[in-house]
Amino acid sequence: MTLWFAIALMTAAAVFAVLWPLGRRRAPPPSGSDLAVYRDQLEEVDRDRAAGRIGESEAIAARLEVSRRLLAADAAAAAQAKPIAPASAGWRRRATALAALLALPAGTAGLYLALGSPGLPAAPLSARLQQLPERPTLPTLVAQVEAHLAKNPEEGRGWEVVAPVYMRLGRFDDAVKARRNALQFLGESAERQGELGEALVAAANGVVTTDAKSAFERALALNGRDFKARFFLGVAAEQDGRRAEAATAWRELLKDAPPGARWTELVRHALARVDGTPVAGAGNPTSDEIDAASDLAPDQRTAMIRGMVDRLAERLKHDGTNVQGWLRLVRAYTVLGEREKAQAAASAARRALASEPDKVRQVDELVKGLGLEG
């Protein structure tokens, strides 16, 4: 009803705009009395000149002005004197008014019926928003990529794109397949070998298998400074019981780390796990604190570390925006063997950093790397 009422108002306004000028009366033409007045003025000017009340120049100027007005009035009267049949003029006005009254509403209604949707029910904004198509979910997008790769199995770029998605979804066997296909169709590189090895480790629940170790060794042969290969070969040494070898590999890796590299925190944690002593790093205990801890008995060292961890946890209660602090806290609880506290700290970090997705992603990556999921 609201729509039809609005249409009726707009139609009435349009009709009024057409009928308004038709209903206005024309200004009456100059009458004969106006001409008589101007002639009397000319005679009065002559009398004033003869009586000496005005000079010759003033009389000439007055005559010119009155004569101009007289000629203009006479021309207007002659133009209006042309015969116009009153019946004809009235018929034209009535025809125009009738067209405005009938044609405009009829044309408007016909145009709306042709182009509009009069049968469509009213829909408030909330209802329309609910009817919008939903954004495709990640599994839907993956299914589309898989359908494309089923038709184009030799498209290496597609396999390389979908592999990290498989890793994120926990489909590690599919990730291994995708990494192998990327290697086959795009060629070998240190990065692709390292990614294959990482997928193999994930598929084996964190164990560096023989195939994974071979992939990392191949990556290291292609690029002797490859971080991922060096780190996981250290993990392999740790799993084989060669903790000193793992610690040496990770110390060398830290020496070669570029400034600001995010992965150094992960390496420091791994080193602390096999070495038993906290490693200095950005935001970690100072060198003096580490030296003091190394001179203490194991129980005293653990107590000192716990004190530092408790102080860090207390600071994060007041300022939860420090993502590096949260990462250190999660690692510290893991080193102390307090898995539940590490998981609780990770959950608290996610809540505190909920408005900053990039920082939450760092926490998720650390949790995954430490095996704290589930």
Can you give the pLDDT at residue 265? 82
Identify whether the C-beta of residue 22 lies closer than 8 Å to the C-beta of residue 97. Answer: yes
How many degrees, rounded to 5, is the angle at CA 115 between CA 109 and CA 117?
A: 85
* Terminal Cα-to-Cα distance of the chain (whole angstroms): 57
Mean pLDDT score of the chain: 77
Helices (H), 116-223: 125-131, 138-151, 156-169, 172-186, 190-203, 210-222
Count structural domains, the chain: 2
What is the average pLDDT across 88-98? 65
The predicted-structure confidence for 176-223, as pLDDT tens digits, reads as follows 999 999 999 999 999 999 999 999 998 888 889 999 999 999 999 999
Q: Is the pLDDT of residue 115 over 50?
A: yes
- Return the CATH number at 367: 1.25.40
Structure confidence at residue 294 as a pLDDT band (50, 70, 90): very low
Can you give the pLDDT at residue 157? 93
Predicted TM-score of the model (pTM): 0.45
Q: Is the pLDDT of residue 271 over 80?
A: yes
Number of other residues whose CB lies within 10 A of the CB of residue 362: 19
Can you give the pLDDT at residue 281? 44
Q: Is the pLDDT of residue 287 over 50?
A: no
Structure confidence at residue 163 as a pLDDT band (50, 70, 90): very high
Q: Which stretch of 203-212, 348-357, 363-372 has the lowest confidence by average pLDDT?
A: 363-372
Which of these three, 57, 85, 109, is where a domain ends? 109
Q: Looking at beta carbons, which pairs linking 307-311 to residues 24 or more positions away fall under 8 Å?
A: 308/332, 309/333, 309/336
Can you give the pLDDT at residue 231? 93
Q: Is the pLDDT of residue 348 over 80?
A: yes
How many degrees, rounded to 5, is the angle at CA 312 between CA 306 and CA 317?
A: 125
What is the average pLDDT across 54-75? 72
Can you give the pLDDT at residue 323? 84
Q: Is the pLDDT of residue 316 over 80?
A: yes
Q: Is the pLDDT of residue 298 over 50?
A: yes
d(CA 200, CA 194): 10
Using alpha carbons, list the distances in angstroms from residue 188 to 94, 156, 175, 191, 324. 89, 12, 17, 8, 35
Can you give the pLDDT at residue 282? 40
3-state secondary structure of 278: coil
Can you give the pLDDT at residue 338? 84
Amino acid at 266: L
Number of other residues whose CB lies within 10 A of the CB of residue 156: 18
DSSP 19-69: HHHHHSPPPPPPPHHHHHHHHHHHHHHHHHHHTTSS-HHHHHHHHHHHHHH
Domain assignment of residue 330, yes or no: yes
What is the average pLDDT across 163-187? 92
Domain assignment of residue 39, yes or no: yes
Q: Is the pLDDT of residue 173 over 70?
A: yes
Top pLDDT among 158 and 275 is at 158
Domain assignment of residue 349, yes or no: yes
What is the average pLDDT across 42-53? 77
What is the average pLDDT across 291-310? 61
Can you give the pLDDT at residue 21? 65
Structure confidence at residue 85 as a pLDDT band (50, 70, 90): very low
Top pLDDT among 310 and 122 is at 310
Domain assignment of residue 9, yes or no: yes
What is the average pLDDT across 305-311? 75
Percent of the chain with pLDDT over 90: 23
Structure confidence at residue 230 as a pLDDT band (50, 70, 90): very high
Percent of the chain with pLDDT over 70: 67
Domain assignment of residue 297, yes or no: yes
Q: Which structural domain range is residue 362 located in?
A: 261-374
Domain assignment of residue 171, yes or no: no
Q: Specify the residue for token string 């898995």.
A: 339
Top pLDDT among 233 and 54 is at 233
Q: Looking at beta carbons, which pairs linking 294-302 to residues 24 or more positions away fall under 8 Å?
A: 301/277, 302/336
